[in-house]
Amino acid sequence: MSQQVQGVISRAKGAPVELTTIVVPDPGPGEAVVRVQACGVCHTDLHYREGGINDEYPFLLGHEAAGVVESVGADVTHLEPGDYVILNWRAVCGACRACRRGRPQYCFDTHNADQKMTLEDGTELSPALGIGAFAEKTLVAAGQCTKVDPAASPAAAGLLGCGIMAGIGAAINTGGVSRGDSVAVIGCGGVGSAAVAGARLAGAGRIIAVDLEDRKLEWARGFGATHTVNAREADTVEAIRALTDGFGADVVIDAVGVPQTYEQAFYARDLAGTVVLVGVPTPDMRLDLPLLDVFGRGGALKSSWYGDCLPSRDFPMLVDLYTQGRLDLDGFVTEEIGLGDVEEAFARMERGEVLRSVVRL
């Protein structure tokens, strides 16, 4: 028997999101239904609403969530009703060429639920990143559920399901930040501030936070930034170089994802340094760089999918650091809101007023 619950959908490009009734099927083989307890508002949800990801409207938004498993499909063995889980959007297959080579964090064939959630009239929904968790309940692949210590509150734990994991992972997994490195992070929203926190966890020496908003820079200091740059008042590249003895940072993380910030990251990096792109560009964006500079500056230009995380490895580890007081996840939660408040949360995100608005259910 399917069930009807409330969920937040995006019906058409740019149109305000709507809270409406959605139909959630019972879990089939390999699937689970999760009662969502908290779901953060990530910029990627806004990208979906704006048509920046694809045109498969209507979208069921929300993908940064924690909750409790309600029911599982017949053949699901690693999960049972009552389990406390963080939802992940890269459930690894175990069989593709990346998985077979022991690099499951790059899995090229991640999976989602086979069945579709729908509107009451039967219209199929596209769940954001295969999750769709701005909803009382959602249907996912069982592999998208990662069990963690219930001692972590849903609002905090859920953040690891996307942006905060992506940011921390951009620093510690993709960027390979290690003790004594200098790190610059361009764009200190939820993702960028998490990259700052990740750089601190990894023992970086100098951590430079860049944003357009002073309040973001203040929050970034709380997560470990040693220096801040307001990009409205200073040239990002010159400022980062000035703070690194004129050379540039060992690792520069672009947590905005537009050509301008990518180019800044490219030139604000020391010779043989690393650029990590974790912000998500839109299909119209183009980059124009002198190929000789790409060669001559050496190093690595990397992209970070979900912080190159392995949910089964990284979620429980970060929850442990949180419960030990070594990672301040609560600091990312600017406000807790209801399911009906997502549109307003997008506006606050665009105005730069929040790190994370978290829907509590």
Ligand X SMILES: NC(=O)c1ccc[n+]([C@@H]2O[C@H](COP(=O)([O-])OP(=O)(O)OC[C@H]3O[C@@H](n4cnc5c(N)ncnc54)[C@H](O)[C@@H]3O)[C@@H](O)[C@H]2O)c1
Residues that bind Zn ion (CB under 5 A): 42, 44, 93, 96, 99, 107, 109, 162-163
CB of 82 to ligand X, least distance (A): 29
Nearer to ligand X, 162 or 199 (CB): 162
Nearer to ligand X, 213 or 218 (CB): 213
Q: In which residue are the tokens 């974790």 written?
A: 278
CB of 276 to ligand X, least distance (A): 9
Residue 206 interacts with which of ligand X, Zn ion, none, CB < 5 to 8 Å by class: none
The residues facing 23 across adjacent strands are: 4, 118
Closest residue to ligand X, judged by C-beta, is: 189
CB of 356 to ligand X, least distance (A): 8
CA 200 to chain centre: 18
Nearer to ligand X, 73 or 189 (CB): 189
Residue 199 interacts with which of Zn ion, ligand X, none, CB < 5 to 8 Å by class: none
CB of 343 to Zn ion, least distance (A): 17
Residue 211 interacts with which of ligand X, Zn ion, none, CB < 5 to 8 Å by class: ligand X
Nearer to Zn ion, 134 or 266 (CB): 134
Cα-Cα-Cα-Cα dihedral sign, residues 99, 62, 69, 72: negative
Q: Which of 63, 57, 62 minimizes the C-alpha distance to 15?
A: 57
Measured CA to CA in angstroms, residue 69 lies from 37, 40, 145, 152, 271 at distances of: 11, 18, 8, 16, 48
CB of 167 to ligand X, least distance (A): 7
Q: Tell whether omega for the bond before 29 is within 30 degrees of 0, i.e. cis.
A: no
Residue 280 interacts with which of Zn ion, ligand X, none, CB < 5 to 8 Å by class: ligand X
CB of 306 closer than 8 Å to CB of 280: no
Rg of the Cα trace of the chain? Answer: 20
The residues facing 185 across adjacent strands are: 209, 253
Residue 257 interacts with which of Zn ion, ligand X, none, CB < 5 to 8 Å by class: ligand X
Residue 332 interacts with which of Zn ion, ligand X, none, CB < 5 to 8 Å by class: none
CB of 122 to ligand X, least distance (A): 30
End-to-end CA distance of the chain: 23
CB of 184 to Zn ion, least distance (A): 22
Residue 107 interacts with which of ligand X, Zn ion, none, CB < 5 to 8 Å by class: Zn ion
Rounded CA gap, 136 and 192, in Å? 29
Nearer to ligand X, 175 or 279 (CB): 279
CB of 252 to ligand X, least distance (A): 12
Rounded CA gap, 74 and 120, in Å? 26
Rounded CA gap, 282 and 316, in Å? 32
Rounded CA gap, 341 and 345, in Å? 6
Nearer to ligand X, 31 or 314 (CB): 314
Cα-Cα-Cα-Cα dihedral sign, residues 288, 291, 296, 298: positive
CB of 71 to ligand X, least distance (A): 28
Number of C-beta neighbours around residue 31 at 10 A: 25
Residue 216 interacts with which of Zn ion, ligand X, none, CB < 5 to 8 Å by class: ligand X
Q: At 247, list the tokens.
A: 């050379």
* Residue ranges in contact with ligand X by CB under 6 A: 42-44, 47, 162-163, 166, 186-192, 210-213, 216, 231, 255-257, 260-261, 278-280, 304-306, 349, 352
Closest residue to Zn ion, judged by C-beta, is: 42
Rounded CA gap, 72 and 140, in Å? 10
CB of 308 closer than 8 Å to CB of 173: yes
Residue 7 interacts with which of Zn ion, ligand X, none, CB < 5 to 8 Å by class: none
CB of 85 closer than 8 Å to CB of 66: yes
